[in-house]
Chain A
């Protein structure tokens, strides 16, 4: 069964500290892996997209890693800010060879709270 699991479910850190969020998946065949940031009450916004051949990608203070062999990804946030408080969702795209587009499999997210 295609699944995406994220850990921890929630996390509280102090402003200025670093943190790492984890994502494990069993999606096959794999197309790409995305990390989204979702502020409370708003739609998800893309942070990074990585294909099979990419093992790291950065977007400002956000750095995502991908190990396609172990089917694991992480999102590292450096020097956290209060505005980083949000839910972070890992999404794996299931390659659909027979169709014109692929299917996105969503994790349940990690809720991050950055405190002053």
Chain B
């Protein structure tokens, strides 16, 4: 089944404790992206990647890191989480280009930083 998977689905952590949220897709998509979703706001892009070893900042990259060492994986790293990073996080992937490509979303990771 074609899908985007994220782990963990739920995470409660404390301020300053490094964490990684994994994202994996099995559709051979070049493009992968991380979003956060907060009440009253639309999804906001954190980072995106257009291929292996190619990553770039989205609209809200502060406090986050990513890596793309393999085409299928795009982990999101919070080196020193803070309470304002409490949010619902989504990973997404798609084929790349100027065409109208479907973007597939993962199930989400709900992160709480205390």
Q: Which residues of A does B touch, CB under 8 Å?
A: 4, 31-32, 41-46, 49, 51, 89, 93, 95, 100-109
Contacts and interface: CB of A to CB of B under 8 A. Distances in A.
A43 B102 contact: no
A41 B103 CA distance: 18
A31 B41 CA distance: 22
A53 to B, nearest CB: 11
B96 A108 contact: no
B108 A108 contact: no
B96 A101 contact: yes
Given A43-B105, A106-B44, A108-B40, 16 more contacts: A43-B90, A43-B108, A44-B43, A44-B90, A49-B100, A49-B102, A51-B100, A100-B96, A101-B31, A101-B50, A101-B96, A104-B45, A106-B42, A107-B42, A108-B41, A109-B42
Interface residues of B, number: 22
A100 B50 contact: yes
A46 B102 contact: yes
18 contacts: A41-B108, A42-B108, A43-B92, A43-B106, A44-B105, A51-B100, A89-B43, A95-B98, A100-B50, A101-B31, A101-B97, A101-B98, A104-B45, A104-B103, A106-B44, A107-B42, A108-B41, A108-B42
B43 A46 contact: no
Contacts of B45: 103-104
A101 B31 CA distance: 9
Contacts of B106: 43
Given A41-B108, A100-B50, A101-B97, A46 B42 contact: no
A106 B50 contact: no
A100 B106 CA distance: 23
B4 interface: yes
B25 to A, nearest CB: 12
A42 B3 CA distance: 13
B61 interface: no
A100 B107 CA distance: 26
A103 B92 CA distance: 13
